Structure 1
């Protein structure tokens, strides 16, 4: 019962955070804490019960353990191989492969710790498992909240639509960027059908391997599909998400477009882009476009790493505190 009551507190903070600003990272943490407490409440309720309820919970935990310890890492390893074949040998494309190996490593560490090789070794392995649990909790919380954030919010009534760049192949728009442009095109047509005339800002500079600035290719893509040239604004300097949003906001302000703005990116990138917009004090809403399924695991992992990198000191202190709380009674 106590876990069920305790879950009310983080749930209340989650609701308040959603009302105040959906772009807060703390919302994801409160959601995760709420779900953990509710899970503990269900477990203890089932443990107190008899018959089919206790058996069902037991089988559920076995299924979860097998899924997390075997099926998930194997799926990540397989996805890593697919990523390397389709996207090439780049550090970002190794993430799902490395994540699968890391999960297997945690499993072996846990099995090694149960062999009781000595208090010092057990303490070290236990500390590593605490850090792994912290990282896993954050990842699941942010993943779930990304889905929540991408599912709520306005879908019309925008004064401007910003499309974030995603790289070209020479001068050609690849599928990842095309999905963003197609989503923006759908939003634009919906606004026009409602009697509004939003501006579309295409944002992206020119990379070393690109024949033209991303904004140029993006504008041509939209104009070939019926968006009039006077409705498209080119922002051709940005090379990061922060620059995409900041430079586009300046261009819109210069044109007197200070109303509701939406930025379009891919679904895996939605929440991090929202966090960046909040840091820049922009009221921009972020909407996601669909992404090829094989690309999602590595993409979500990359976004997770990027979010962690925004507050490295806070996460290091949190891990240190948890490890300390674990080690003090263990080595006492």
Structure 2
């Protein structure tokens, strides 16, 4: 019962935080904490019921949890990683789910060795310290996934003045499927605005990469025109080369045209929440809307986004990781 009651303040905190600002990771942290306490409370309460206890005990649940974390999840990541490599190539960003799965397979036996065998103190310290850091990263990743999924379920706000479609790398001068999905999503939202009697302005945002023959914004505008959007309804932002620049230059453009604007920012669904966090920091008044992404692409892309958030908040995360890594060795000195 204590665990069930402890979950209530976290759920209440999540509801309040989410109500006032949907674009912060704190929402996921509060929701995750509430769900964890709720799950533990439900498990303990269930085990107190004789009919349940006769069928399932704590050891069965522990084994099931171990199988999911140490076998099923890494197996899924490895298989997904292999599919990702086959379809997208061997760039580092495409290997993340494969590497994560292999690391999980390797770390499970290391913990078993530590639990059943006498190992040198130095090895013990390393394994336990790494476990603590990985625990922190796992919880942070779970909070990020909760935020990403929850934010993606929000309906686009109505009455936007601008719809900003973020660019991505062109392939042989043409719009690839990943970028086409963003443009199609932006076009659908534009059509919805027209149907409601308030046509928003479409902004294509993307500069020219070193291996591109034209700015992404131009190719994106051509795609939209070819799919029925009037050219005069499209404004080009053709200077940006990063998500941060997409937001900064688009904000500048929108502020000049309509102070007090409201906008929708279009990117792929795996990138939506991190973009929303950055938009909040840069004071861009808008909601980020995710477009469809092929399912096999999502695991590696989500891991890449999480690494990006760790980098965005590298000082905070660096301090936390150092303190956690030092906690066990320091405790041995007392």
> Could you state the TM-score of these two structures normalised by the residue count of structure 1?
0.94
* Structure 1 counterpart of 2:36: 36
Q: Which 10-residue stretch deviates more, 150-159 or 233-242?
A: 150-159
Q: CA deviation at 1:265?
A: 0.6
The 1:57/1:288 distance shift into structure 2, 3 A limit, reads farther
3-state secondary structure, aligned to 1:7: helix
CA distance in structure 2 between the partners assigned to 1:7 and 1:125 by the alignment = 31
* 1:227-269 residue CA offsets vs partner (Å, 9 max, x unmatched): 1011101111111111111111111122226332000111100
Q: Which 10-residue stretch deviates more, 258-267 or 115-124?
A: 115-124
List gaps (5 residues or longer) in structure 2: none
3-state secondary structure, aligned to 2:265: strand
CA distance in structure 1 between the partners assigned to 2:119 and 2:91 by the alignment = 40
Contact 2:47 2:56 in 1 (8 A): no
CA distance in structure 1 between the partners assigned to 2:305 and 2:290 by the alignment = 14
Contact 1:161 1:184 in 2 (8 A): yes
2:252 to 240, 250, 257: 250
List gaps (5 residues or longer) in structure 1: none
Q: Which 10-residue stretch deviates more, 40-49 or 183-192?
A: 40-49
Contact 1:159 1:257 in 2 (8 A): no
Q: CA deviation at 1:115?
A: 2.0
2:211 to 205, 209, 212: 209
* Structure 2 counterpart of 1:27: 27
* Structure 1 counterpart of 2:238: 236
3-state secondary structure, aligned to 1:298: helix
3-state secondary structure, aligned to 1:51: helix
Contact 1:270 1:288 in 2 (8 A): yes
> Could you state the TM-score of these two structures normalised by the residue count of structure 2?
0.93
* 1:282-317 residue CA offsets vs partner (Å, 9 max, x unmatched): 121001011001100110000000011111222233
CA distance in structure 2 between the partners assigned to 1:139 and 1:98 by the alignment = 16
CA distance in structure 1 between the partners assigned to 2:246 and 2:8 by the alignment = 39
* 1:180-235 residue CA offsets vs partner (Å, 9 max, x unmatched): 00010100000001111210000011112222111011001101111101110111
The 1:237/1:55 distance shift into structure 2, 3 A limit, reads farther
The 1:126/1:284 distance shift into structure 2, 3 A limit, reads same
Following superposition of structure 1 onto structure 2, how do residues 1-332 of structure 1 map, counting pairs within 5 Å?
1-52=1-52, 55-56=55-56, 58=58, 59-118=60-119, 120=121, 121-256=123-258, 258-327=260-329, 332=334
The 1:10/1:289 distance shift into structure 2, 3 A limit, reads same
Compute the RMSD of aligned alpha carbons. Answer: 1.9
Q: Which 10-residue stretch deviates more, 58-67 or 266-275?
A: 58-67
CA distance in structure 1 between the partners assigned to 2:283 and 2:259 by the alignment = 16
The 1:61/1:179 distance shift into structure 2, 3 A limit, reads farther
Q: Which 10-residue stretch deviates more, 119-128 or 260-269?
A: 119-128
Q: CA deviation at 1:72?
A: 1.4
The 1:71/1:243 distance shift into structure 2, 3 A limit, reads same
CA distance in structure 2 between the partners assigned to 1:9 and 1:119 by the alignment = 43
